[in-house]
Structure 1
Amino acid sequence: MHLIELLKNWPCTVKGEWRDVKIRSVTEHPARVSRNSLFVARKGARFDGHQAIDEAIAKGAAAVVIDRPVSSLKLAKWAETGTAIVTVPDSSRFLSYSAAELAGNPSEELQVIAVTGTNGKTTVTHFIGQLLKETGVKAAVIGTTGCYIDGKRLDIPIPSLTTPTAEYLHPLLQVCRLEGVTHVALEASSIGLERGRLADCAIDIGILLNVGTDHLEDHGGREAYVAAKKKLVTLSRQVIVNEEDPVCMKMAEDAAVPVYRFCRSEYIGCLASGSMISKMPTGLHNRLNAMAAASAVRLLGIPEQVIERSFSALALPPGRLQLAESVNRRVYIDYAHSPDALEAVLQAVSGLNPKRLVCVFGCGGNRDREKRPLMGRIAEKYCDHVVITSDNPRDEDPGMIAQHILHGVKHPHKIEVELDRRTAIRRAVGSSGPDDIVVIAGKGHETVQIINEDSILFSDYEEAMEALKADQLL
């Protein structure tokens, strides 16, 4: 696409050569710049793109986009290289727009269902994909665990983000379209919504699941967190809302688009039959997730009786109540890393009537300190024994994180602290008895543990299986 075509609807000023410039790709990452790239020098939370403009130009960037004043000397220097220097009011917004344009605006030819909520986004999007597949619709699922088409994971290098940034999202949607996909279920994180990653994605249905305690520090407080999630209402052509969550209901009350409701017993006007309920995965939270998915599929025009038949295909995605088991021992791995999610999982597993319930969990570093004591309190409420360990401590002291969790504990005799996660898992599984259940919470599908700046290979599921083998429990 010619640069002039990208700029025609944007207020901007341009220095250097621009009339015959052709753009093949757009990026904010200097490492991804190549010949005919458009480099957007956006200022992020950790990196300022202005620092990489010289590098981008040296790599052959055809144009550079900025949104802040720079010295006339710098402008002249960059323009002398033959690179077009474009100044726009908002580089983040322009990055989103240009990524969609260069990909051919694929979302406009797809039916996109975007799901937001503190908990359950991954499960609901996968449930939607499974229900659509059962009805003969080719669907993609994009989110925390990657991109799937008809249940098969695509081997595409994209960042490990709940909601991909625009420069990855729109090319990914283009791939889906070329593969014959007609519907996409997409996770919409609060960070993704706040930072405009979906600003140029045409969303047919937005789903509001729940609002809990997570990512509050990232947004500067609960009010800003709710406001970020509410952006999905304005981006969607119609909205489905969990009527059991008063915050979600409040978010949707002034919507300018049609609003539909669901709950654990009903999906937009259709009552859940006993047959449907019996086919749902374990836990009241998953019953709610299933009804959210059924609501989306029903709104897409799938008949009620077809949806009911399709419920037998529902299966939880990786790392969501994922079972590692021996003859008489069960270990469940779950991504639950917020108070609401941990309580839902422990409540669900308690319903399986274990002889003893043991939980291994920690809290991530550089994230929401206020949730830590709440999770300690919840774990001791449901469990006979709790092992507090490290999660992804990042650059925080794991021992200090554990102390924050212990602040919520009222019965310390139930609690053990073992900061080495591998040892914690081995100890919990090895000391479990027949008919006990061990829950390993916090990391789910993740395959690395982040310690300082290092990402170390680590899988809770694999560690659980090794623990079972080590104790000859398999």
Structure 2
Amino acid sequence: MSTRPAKPRAKNLATLLQGIAPERAPSAHVSDLTLDSRQVEAGGAFVALTGLRTHGLAFLEQALSRGAAAVLWEPAAGVAAPRLPVGVIGVRVPDLTRQLGTIADRFFDAPSSEIRIAAVTGTNGKTTIAYMLAEALEKLGIDAAYTGTLGFGRVGAVRARSHTTPDCITVHRELAELRDDGVRSVAMEVTSHALVQQRVAGVRFDAALFTNLTRDHLDYHGTFEAYGEAKARLFEWPTLKHAIVNLDDPFGATLTQRVRGTALTVYGRESLATTDVSSEACYVRATHVVAEPVGLSIEIDSAWGRGRLHSRLIGAFNVDNVLAVLAALLGFDVPLRDALQTIEQGTAPPGRMEMLIAPGKPLVVVDYAHTPDALDKALRAVRAHSTGKLHCVFGCGGERDVGKRPLMGSIAETQADAVIVTDDNPRGEDGDAIVAAILDGMREPTKAHVQRDRAAAIELAIARAAPGDAVLIAGKGHENYQIVGSTRRHFSDREVALAALGRTS
């Protein structure tokens, strides 16, 4: 166990900014770093970056009122140098957004240099893969933790937070906390937003894993090509030692051509089944898959040998997730037999194809699927593990990619026998307009039932379903809240479904 103090010691500004700020910073100490003016502590440094809508200096007064001893600010067009009280240090730092990772790394004593970090990126599968990888490493006796959509911490003690990848300072702060707690390996979800916005700058990634690329976040990236390029940044990381890529995905196949000077492992089913990979240094492929009533049986061929495993996960797409975790473990020098046995003990993370079962009731599956591709795969997965009708409850989030709404409507209509369209997180958008956009993608929208009250929609779907049927509740997964307007209220698909099934847990 580390003997480091729980809180980092104050650091000298001149040391933190050496080679970064154009002018030498004063030799003064700061006790903390933060981008959030509400979290400034007396003696700490407030970091003001250029934002999408406003500059961090707009919150300067609050930072000063809380006792900021220094202000690091990023120059931008139309932004004047701040006027600071006597005794408060101001340092202009050009390109501070990009440089902040180095500053945070220095402040927290380079936490990622003492932890082996595997970064997982891609549209779908990040949470399942990162969670299962951390869980597997822990079962193998390696002090491991997870960070991502579910929060951060050791598996079984994950603390929730608001973003999959938080701001750059928080990333390094959390890594420092994990290091000080004795963690030596971390499986980290890394989003496209995080890569573009430099939220993981300064982190020393050992391994990068790519899952797939399908439509999502085009409201932010603008084009599918830009979205892909954002993901690709991870595979050009200067500290990268190992790249793990899904060769079945078209972008993944392209990505392998860009990996240079890094050990490469490819995994998949379709491409590897029809491609001669005997000359590949590293590969993992599924040669035969059987969907069992509750789980998957997978025969494996790899550069490390052959084997078979029985996973508790359901759905054909989870074969890819299992292969990814296996490839990562093998890349970490875990023997094939140990890796297979450990994965067999693995469980799905909360809200990821989570099965809720009650005697005499339909099978209910709660999943985070909120993209067209994820919804299609989730529906196909549940269909493969049920014998009766398939019911689907879903909606689309407000103030997000509007183009995917009709696509998801079409998929739900095609794949499910009965569809109930409801609210997801409408945020500031008109919920009726979101529903209308979903229905626009259906050939026969009048056959879909609209119930915007999400709890009522879930209860209705379960009440209508017979034993032997299956109900997929898609979109929110692990989330325990719903955002309507600016109000965030408690709401859990899982809790509502359990109550409808007559269960309490």
TM-score by length of 1: 0.93
2:396 to 344, 357, 363: 363
- Paired residue total: 464
Amino acid at match of 1:218: Y
2:349 to 317, 325, 338: 317
Matched position secondary structure for 2:41: coil
Report deviation, 1:184: 0.4
2:57 to 42, 50, 53: 50
Alignment of 1:84 onto 2:85 = no
Q: Are the counterparts in 1 of residues 390 and 418 from structure 2 also a CA contact under 8 Å?
A: yes
Other-structure match for 1:326: 358
Other-structure match for 2:329: 297
Other-structure match for 1:139: 144
Matches within 5 A, 1:20-419: 20-68=27-75, 75=82, 77-78=83-84, 80-149=85-154, 151-155=155-159, 159-235=161-237, 236-258=240-262, 259-264=264-269, 268-272=282-286, 274=299, 276-328=308-360, 329-419=362-452
201-210 or 174-183: bigger deviation: 174-183
Q: Are the counterparts in 2 of residues 264 and 291 from structure 1 also a CA contact under 8 Å?
A: no
Structure 2 distance, partners of 1:162, 1:74, is: 33
Q: Are the counterparts in 2 of residues 334 and 441 from structure 1 also a CA contact under 8 Å?
A: yes
Report deviation, 1:220: 1.8
TM-score by length of 2: 0.87
Query: How has the CA–CA distance of structure 1 residues 69 and 333 changed in structure 2, closer, same or farther, with 3 Å as cutoff?
Result: closer
Q: Are the counterparts in 1 of residues 314 and 381 from structure 2 also a CA contact under 8 Å?
A: yes
Report deviation, 1:174: 1.2
Amino acid at match of 2:407: L
What is the alpha-carbon root mean square deviation over aligned residues?
A: 2.2
Amino acid at match of 1:369: V
Query: How has the CA–CA distance of structure 1 residues 268 and 343 changed in structure 2, closer, same or farther, with 3 Å as cutoff?
Result: farther
Query: How has the CA–CA distance of structure 1 residues 70 and 116 changed in structure 2, closer, same or farther, with 3 Å as cutoff?
Result: closer
State the Cα deviation string for residues 219-275 of structure 1 (Å, max 9, x = none): 122121111111111123321110000112213312223222111487943455636
Structure 2 distance, partners of 1:443, 1:354, is: 25
Report deviation, 1:211: 0.3
Other-structure match for 1:8: 18
39-48 or 441-450: bigger deviation: 39-48
Amino acid at match of 1:307: A
Q: Are the counterparts in 1 of residues 21 and 91 from structure 2 also a CA contact under 8 Å?
A: no
Amino acid at match of 1:53: L
Matched position secondary structure for 1:342: helix
Alignment of 1:434 onto 2:439 = no
Query: How has the CA–CA distance of structure 1 residues 69 and 233 changed in structure 2, closer, same or farther, with 3 Å as cutoff?
Result: closer
Report deviation, 1:401: 0.6
Query: How has the CA–CA distance of structure 1 residues 374 and 104 changed in structure 2, closer, same or farther, with 3 Å as cutoff?
Result: same
Q: Are the counterparts in 1 of residues 100 and 201 from structure 2 also a CA contact under 8 Å?
A: no
Structure 2 distance, partners of 1:185, 1:103, is: 20
Structure 1 distance, partners of 2:211, 2:183, is: 25
Q: Are the counterparts in 2 of residues 343 and 379 from structure 1 also a CA contact under 8 Å?
A: yes
Report deviation, 1:353: 2.8
Amino acid at match of 2:116: Q
Query: How has the CA–CA distance of structure 1 residues 270 and 59 changed in structure 2, closer, same or farther, with 3 Å as cutoff?
Result: closer
Structure 1 distance, partners of 2:30, 2:106, is: 11
Structure 2 distance, partners of 1:228, 1:439, is: 31
Structure 2 distance, partners of 1:264, 1:326, is: 34
Give structure 2 stretches of 5+ with no counterpart. Answer: 1-10, 273-280, 287-297, 300-306
Q: Are the counterparts in 2 of residues 327 and 473 from structure 1 also a CA contact under 8 Å?
A: no
Report deviation, 1:4: 0.5
Report deviation, 1:335: 0.3
Structure 2 distance, partners of 1:473, 1:431, is: 20
Q: Judging by fraction of residues, say which structure has more helix.
A: 1
Structure 2 distance, partners of 1:271, 1:230, is: 23
Structure 2 distance, partners of 1:85, 1:154, is: 37
Query: How has the CA–CA distance of structure 1 residues 148 and 308 changed in structure 2, closer, same or farther, with 3 Å as cutoff?
Result: same
Query: How has the CA–CA distance of structure 1 residues 34 and 70 changed in structure 2, closer, same or farther, with 3 Å as cutoff?
Result: farther
Structure 2 distance, partners of 1:359, 1:97, is: 46
Matched position secondary structure for 1:278: strand
Matched position secondary structure for 2:400: coil
112-121 or 28-37: bigger deviation: 28-37
Other-structure match for 1:19: 26
Q: Are the counterparts in 2 of residues 141 and 186 from structure 1 also a CA contact under 8 Å?
A: yes
Q: Are the counterparts in 1 of residues 268 and 284 from structure 2 also a CA contact under 8 Å?
A: no
Matched position secondary structure for 2:325: helix
Report deviation, 1:154: 4.1
458-467 or 64-73: bigger deviation: 64-73
Amino acid at match of 2:316: L
Matched position secondary structure for 2:97: helix
Amino acid at match of 2:344: S
State the Cα deviation string for residues 174-226 of structure 1 (Å, max 9, x = none): 11112211110000001011111111000000011100111111112212111
Query: How has the CA–CA distance of structure 1 residues 118 and 102 changed in structure 2, closer, same or farther, with 3 Å as cutoff?
Result: same
Q: Are the counterparts in 2 of residues 118 and 210 from structure 1 also a CA contact under 8 Å?
A: yes
Matched position secondary structure for 1:346: helix
Identical columns (%): 35
Structure 2 distance, partners of 1:173, 1:347, is: 37
Deviating beyond 6 angstroms after TM superposition, the runs of 4 or more aligned structure 1 residues are 70-73
Structure 1 distance, partners of 2:435, 2:285, is: 44
